[in-house]
Amino acid sequence: MFCEIDFMTSLTIISDERYLQHDTGGGDHPEIPARLQAVYQALDNSAFSAKFSYAAPRIAEREWLLQAHTEDWLFRFEEAVLSGRTFIDHNDNQVGYDSYDIACLSAGAGLAGIDLLEADKANNVFCLVRPPGHHAEKSIPFGFCFLNNCVVAARYWQQKYKRKRVLVFDFDAHHGNGIQSAFEEEKEGFYLSIHEHPSFSYPGTGYADEHGLGDGKGTILNLPLPPGGDDNQVQRLFEEIIPSQLEEWQPDAIIIGAGFDAHVADDMSGLHYSTELYQDIGREIKSWGQRFTGGKILSILEGGYELSVLGDSVEAYVRGLLKP
């Protein structure tokens, strides 16, 4: 029986089988296709699966990639994969022959999602993509990231739909240095990140005293947690620090860098989040949407590497986003 989905209470998942083809070379590389498969499986089994609808990403158009990256880097990236290189700049950044195209498709998921949100054909979009993006700088790949999916989406939202006061909230265990670099010198675009303290964690950036530079003063809020940082500490930030910042910023669009590697079982960070915390994070973000953006939220998958908990963590987050 055909069931019409009520977009206002559903989750639109944007993903594509081609994301599985970004080849990071096997071995001990943590950013592998099985991550997405674990997420797909957990969402298939979710009690909320009736509330999911699915949409396709598109390849991000070059004009939007260039809002976040230099032409030099786009050429260098494409050329590196086509010439058969297995990594770029650092062997963390493993690539295969198709990685450039797939990264463009990863960056394009957000654009497709924003179009759906703006056309009222979706209210809550989750882009399940790889490669991730938040470490990618304007012209340098870092930490498994090549194109900065969140920044490309933010630029698209700001320029095509004139939603200037974009908030990017990043709850990945690692600081999104590439997002901060993009926003820190301009007055539009607010980057809020909860991550493990940079003295103990990759990429060694995201100190609490960095609030933005020049015109961008006040547009960066880094909330580092010490190793062992747990649910209670995150809850405290949600209760005591973040609300007043959001009230002051008054976002007109919300992008979430959704990373799940702060889970206690994920050895890519020293943070100790429970699976259930991700439901609370989802619920909190939902309330921000209701408060500021008519419920509209765009989430983009970043990290999360422990396959035994990644799927359930994502499912918990989705539950939080959807629960009435």
Task: Please identify, using beta-carbon distances, which residue of 135 and 163 lies nearer to another protein.
Answer: 135
Among 135, 175, 195, 263, the one annotated catalytic = 135
Residue 27, number of CB atoms within 10 A of its CB: 8
Task: Please identify, using beta-carbon distances, which residue of 262 and 318 lies nearer to another protein.
Answer: 262
| Token code pair at residue 64 | 């939007």
* In the complex, minimum distance from the CB of residue 28 to another protein, in angstroms, rounded to a whole number: 5
The 3-class secondary structure across 271-292, one letter per residue, is CEECHHHHHHHHHHHHHHHHHH
Q: How far is C-alpha 93 from the geometric centre of its chain's CA atoms?
A: 18
90-94 and 87-88 strand pairing: antiparallel
190-196 and 52-55 strand pairing: unpaired
Cis peptide before 243 (omega within 30 of 0): no
Task: Choose among 310, 302, 314, 237: nearest CA to 267.
Answer: 310
* In the complex, minimum distance from the CB of residue 315 to another protein, in angstroms, rounded to a whole number: 24
Return the ∠ at Cα 16 (arms to 189 and 42), rounded to 5°.
90
Q: Interface residues with another protein (CB under 8 A)? A: 28-30, 90-92, 135, 137, 142-144, 174, 177, 198-205, 207, 226-228, 267-268, 270, 272
* In the complex, minimum distance from the CB of residue 143 to another protein, in angstroms, rounded to a whole number: 4
240 touches 172 (CB < 8 A): no
* In the complex, minimum distance from the CB of residue 96 to another protein, in angstroms, rounded to a whole number: 18
Task: Please identify, using beta-carbon distances, which residue of 147 and 242 lies nearer to another protein.
Answer: 147
253-258 and 220-225 strand pairing: unpaired
Task: Please identify, using beta-carbon distances, which residue of 16 and 92 lies nearer to another protein.
Answer: 92
* In the complex, minimum distance from the CB of residue 199 to another protein, in angstroms, rounded to a whole number: 6
Residue 68, number of CB atoms within 10 A of its CB: 26
Task: Please identify, using beta-carbon distances, which residue of 272 and 319 lies nearer to another protein.
Answer: 272
Catalytic-residue membership of 135: yes
| Token code pair at residue 311 | 């799927």
Active site amino acids: 135
